[in-house]
Structure 1
Amino acid sequence: MADPTPTPLAVQLLAILGRDKERLTRIDDYLHGHHDDPYMPAMADDEYRLLAKRSVSNWTPLLVNTPAQALYVDGYRAGDEDGKGSATDLTSPQWEHWQRSRLDARQSAVYKGALTYGHSFTLTERVKGSVLTKGLSALRTAALYEDPANDDTPYCALTVTAWPSGETAGTARMWDGRSEYAVSFKSLDDADGVRVGKGKRHGASECPVTRFAASVDLEGRTVGVIEPMIPLQNRINQTIFDLLVAQTYASVKVRTVTGMAPPVQRDPETGEVVYDEQGNPIPLPINHNAKRFLFAEDPDVRFGSLDETPLGGFIESIDMSIRHLSAVAQVPPHHLLGQIANLSAEALQAAETALSRKIQEFRTAFGEAWERVFRLAAELEGADGSEDFKGEVIWRDMEQRSLAQAADALGKLREQLGIPAKGLWKRVPNVTQTELDEWDELAEDEDSVGQLASALTRATAEPASVTTDSVAVAA
């Protein structure tokens, strides 16, 4: 950091937003279907341009939504002094903060922002007496790091709250490790127009903004799942455009006839041929369709046809490009093509392997970010956990498995390996932390009832009967 004072930092952060604006805006356009036009002739007419508009087949939302729909935080396990995570407690301050911030519903937007642009942010702050966490867009937010590749705590961060409009200056909020500042600016690249207000303490010991990065290299650069796929998306659009052109202009047979002049218009009164301004006879329109046929008396007339352009090659090319997109993006082909015919469970699982590894990578990165959010929230609330570096978030198991198969597998683990039944509860498909806590309480109730029944049985048992040997008396 050349100058750690607030104004130069605000200028630098705004310059970062200006530098990345074009790239991030292009990614945002591709996400929402505003793609580059396919190649077409320079003198293309309106019909060509309409076909180009219709050729856009937007696959990028699937690249974001497919992994994002498998990312769902379902609990938090606080670390203990021995480094072992304690059981998840839904009444812990960390989880209460999660629920108060309504992050069950809002977490998806944070993941989708990070997967789309490469990174997104959250802000943890005190609002009207409560500590809340909310997401911040990468299009509006920038952060500075002393070591952007390895630091999870930014030196300072800024988010735009209103863009400049005409003579009205834009506004932003900026945070460093101690204070929050109100910032006004005329444009992202106008350093002289930046004004920074007096700072006020935000209550945390470090910058309260947390970065969620889908992928960070050793240079500190982040990349999402859309930007590398833009060339493949353009290739698909170009092939679909060529398919539409061939389908529109060359997908039907063309009937031809040579050696025969078309009938011409004649004056209904005189029967004479009617000529145009250039002196050429005006031909009559020929109503030719599938129900009509042409005939000619002149033996030199020849009828023929021009074959239609086969469309199979275009369709195969589109299919191949989508498969390339699937391989590079690590998204199973059946997610994109919708083809699930005669596939066994093992084949489906093998197809999902690459996606599962990718999702696990995202969970590791995003989990570390959520743990920092929980530490910030605990510090602002004055609760335990501000120095808890051993805690971890609990991700919901989103793999689709039948309950019968899971029950059979868990039963075998219990019988053959001796794993306690309670330790297998979390392996039940789609079980939530609330259900696990309820099961735990029910198990304790059943255990206490069973112990009471056993004690009552022992207390009310009849004393053992004493038998005596009988003595036979002879008469």
Structure 2
Amino acid sequence: MQATLASARQLLNILDRDLPRLQRIDAYVQGRHDGPYMPPQADDEYRLLAKRAISNWMPLLVGTPAQALYVDSFRRGSTATTQPADQPLPEWRHWQNSRLDARQTSIHRGALAYGHAFTLTEKTARGVRTKGLSPLRTAALYEDPANDDTPYVALTVTRKPADDLPGLARMWDGSTEYRVAFVSYRDADKVTVAQVGRHGATECPVTRFAAAVDLEGRTVGVVEPMIPLQNRINQSVFDLLVAQTYGSFKVRWATGMAPPLLMEPVHAAENDPTSEVVDWRPKLGPDGRPIPAPININAKRFLFAEDPEVKFGTLDETPLAGFIASIDMSIRHLSAVSQTPPHHLLGQIANLSAEALLAAETALSRKIEEFRRMFGEAWERVFRLAAELDGNTSSAQDLAGEVIWRDMELKSLAQSADGLGKLAESLGIPKRGLWSRVPGVTRTELDEWERLREEDDAELQLAQALNRATPDPASLPVAA
């Protein structure tokens, strides 16, 4: 138990160490960015412009690859037991029972944003289920964090410490689940561990989904490297708003002309405001000086003066083209570094040929393929864990199984049908093997097609048998 307690303390320390960095990433995803630079004596108007200058590009950087990461099916390896065609695969049945058609998106987005996310596969009252775990609350330990898929211990916080209530966490090793109570992440002396029971698997049931892992075992997502560029864009937008607010209009000036003054009446009886008005005089301010009258100047009014010595003129507005070009350049840098096509960020898609669009999407396609390789291995481990907990030994040992990702390439059904037909005709690929390549087809539809094909084959075989059993009328003897 001492080793288990030490692991719990280490995992809580990891959460405490990584939390500031992950919270900063979370703030940028939610649009709570570091403010642009402004003078220390900035007024409320400046601060309002700084708040409006925040242009949050981070959700787009996360959502663009995430929208191309949808698991559509699962293919067993050659070592797994063959499943009858009219029955769904147990692996896919587990997927549907866990509602992962929708919940996979949260797991993928978490891994892309923070660098890693986790899933937990466990037995519940409704069978074996898999659910996502937040990277801000979950940590795992590996013997070799760069190469191991299976952690030897993992912990997720279910309740943070607050007021007089201690924090609670669940922890798993290779065979057992534990309940962890703690006062704070850093107070190692007040961490307690209690055994809950065996979780039913032969390895830790927590699986890591990492967007990228280096040889030191460090994970990095798509948000953290882009924070400096995001700050640069915010600063450029802030400078544009300041110039637009204070200097984007012409300034009219006049010299040699005294402003009109506010006038007040002079009554016949000085202390009687109801008496007759006998004269007018300039109204004085608290300092004893005459108060200038406000001048209503707008685009509909002209300024004139009776004195020929008065001169009028204008000061040119501040050009905004340079600020706009700076913002455009920063967004293009963001596009290049993040491997996001420029037209996804700038919205400029006019006059682009199909070849140009394909070339622009190439870098994004490569990045998405990299994510599919990383996440695909994690999902395959989830399927093996679920099979083991469900008592399916053959699938639990199937290291050759693979997930099938949805084809998100925009192609018409006619183009796909023509290409698949040529593959079947020229290369001799079985038609049944090409069903999964039909755009938009799901695992449920494939199972339905298989069932309908078997029904059609059965009807065809019955018709052929009846034809063979029915004699040809021409061969029957003719009655005398």
Instruction: Work out whether the TM-score is over 0.5.
Output: yes
Residue deviations 1:336-370 (CA, integer Å, cap 9, x gap): 22222122222222211111111111111111111
Aligned partners of 1:217 and 1:29: how far apart in 2? 25
Q: State the partner residue of 1:432.
A: 442
Q: State the partner residue of 2:91.
A: 94
Report SS of the residue matched to 2:281. Answer: coil
Shift of 1:86: 8.2
Quick check: 1:394 aligned with 2:401? no
User: 1:180/1:316 Cα in 2 relative to 1: closer, same or farther (>3 Å)?
Assistant: same
Q: State the partner residue of 2:269.
A: none
Aligned partners of 1:415 and 1:97: how far apart in 2? 36
State whether residues 65 and 364 of structure 2, in contact with CA within 8 Å, keep that contact through their aligned partners in structure 1: yes
Q: State the partner residue of 1:70.
A: 68
Deviates more, 1:330-339 or 1:59-68: 330-339
State whether residues 250 and 308 of structure 1, in contact with CA within 8 Å, keep that contact through their aligned partners in structure 2: yes
Report SS of the residue matched to 2:265. Answer: coil
Percent identity for Structure 1 against Structure 2? 68
Residue deviations 1:285-341 (CA, integer Å, cap 9, x gap): 112222221112222211001111121221221122111111111111122222221
State whether residues 86 and 451 of structure 2, in contact with CA within 8 Å, keep that contact through their aligned partners in structure 1: no
Quick check: 1:362 aligned with 2:364? no
Q: State the partner residue of 1:30.
A: 28
State whether residues 121 and 136 of structure 1, in contact with CA within 8 Å, keep that contact through their aligned partners in structure 2: yes
Residue deviations 1:93-150 (CA, integer Å, cap 9, x gap): 2222212211111111111111111001111111226221111100000001110000
Aligned partners of 2:64 and 2:125: how far apart in 1? 37
Specify which of 10, 17, 20 is matched with residue 19 of structure 1: 17
Task: Tell me the TM-score normalised to structure 2 length.
Answer: 0.91
User: 1:317/1:224 Cα in 2 relative to 1: closer, same or farther (>3 Å)?
Assistant: same
Specify which of 322, 334, 345 is matched with residue 331 of structure 2: 322
Aligned partners of 2:210 and 2:430: how far apart in 1? 38
Report SS of the residue matched to 2:280. Answer: coil
User: 1:437/1:96 Cα in 2 relative to 1: closer, same or farther (>3 Å)?
Assistant: closer
Deviates more, 1:405-414 or 1:196-205: 405-414
Report SS of the residue matched to 2:263. Answer: coil
Report SS of the residue matched to 2:415. Answer: helix
State whether residues 88 and 447 of structure 2, in contact with CA within 8 Å, keep that contact through their aligned partners in structure 1: no
Q: State the partner residue of 1:473.
A: none
Aligned partners of 2:57 and 2:82: how far apart in 1? 40
Aligned partners of 1:404 and 1:47: how far apart in 2? 58
Quick check: 1:167 aligned with 2:164? yes
Aligned partners of 1:90 and 1:42: how far apart in 2? 69
Q: State the partner residue of 1:403.
A: 413
Specify which of 356, 368, 373 is matched with residue 347 of structure 1: 356
Specify which of 8, 32, 49 is matched with residue 10 of structure 1: 8
Specify which of 229, 232, 242 is matched with residue 232 of structure 1: 229
Which amino acid letter does the alignment assign opposite residue 218 of structure 1? Answer: L
Report SS of the residue matched to 1:198. Answer: strand
Shift of 1:418: 4.1
User: 1:89/1:58 Cα in 2 relative to 1: closer, same or farther (>3 Å)?
Assistant: farther
Which ranges of structure 1 fall in alignment gaps of 5 or more residues?
A: 465-475
Aligned partners of 1:31 and 1:372: how far apart in 2? 29
Pairs within 5 Å for 1:436-447: 436-447=446-457
Aligned partners of 1:445 and 1:276: how far apart in 2? 99
State whether residues 79 and 86 of structure 1, in contact with CA within 8 Å, keep that contact through their aligned partners in structure 2: no
State whether residues 83 and 89 of structure 2, in contact with CA within 8 Å, keep that contact through their aligned partners in structure 1: no
Shift of 1:243: 1.0
Q: State the partner residue of 2:249.
A: 252
Deviates more, 1:341-350 or 1:269-278: 269-278
Aligned partners of 2:333 and 2:83: how far apart in 1? 44
Specify which of 251, 254, 262 is matched with residue 265 of structure 1: 262
Report SS of the residue matched to 1:342. Answer: coil
Task: Tell me the TM-score normalised to structure 1 length.
Answer: 0.91
Which amino acid letter does the alignment assign opposite residue 226 of structure 1? Answer: V
Aligned partners of 1:452 and 1:199: how far apart in 2? 58
Aligned partners of 2:86 and 2:466: how far apart in 1? 34
Specify which of 170, 185, 191 is matched with residue 188 of structure 2: 191
Which amino acid letter does the alignment assign opposite residue 3 of structure 2? Answer: T
Residue deviations 1:168-214 (CA, integer Å, cap 9, x gap): 21111111112111111111111111111135211111111111111
Report SS of the residue matched to 2:185. Answer: coil
Report SS of the residue matched to 2:121. Answer: strand
Shift of 1:404: 2.3
User: 1:91/1:4 Cα in 2 relative to 1: closer, same or farther (>3 Å)?
Assistant: farther
Aligned partners of 1:249 and 1:402: how far apart in 2? 52
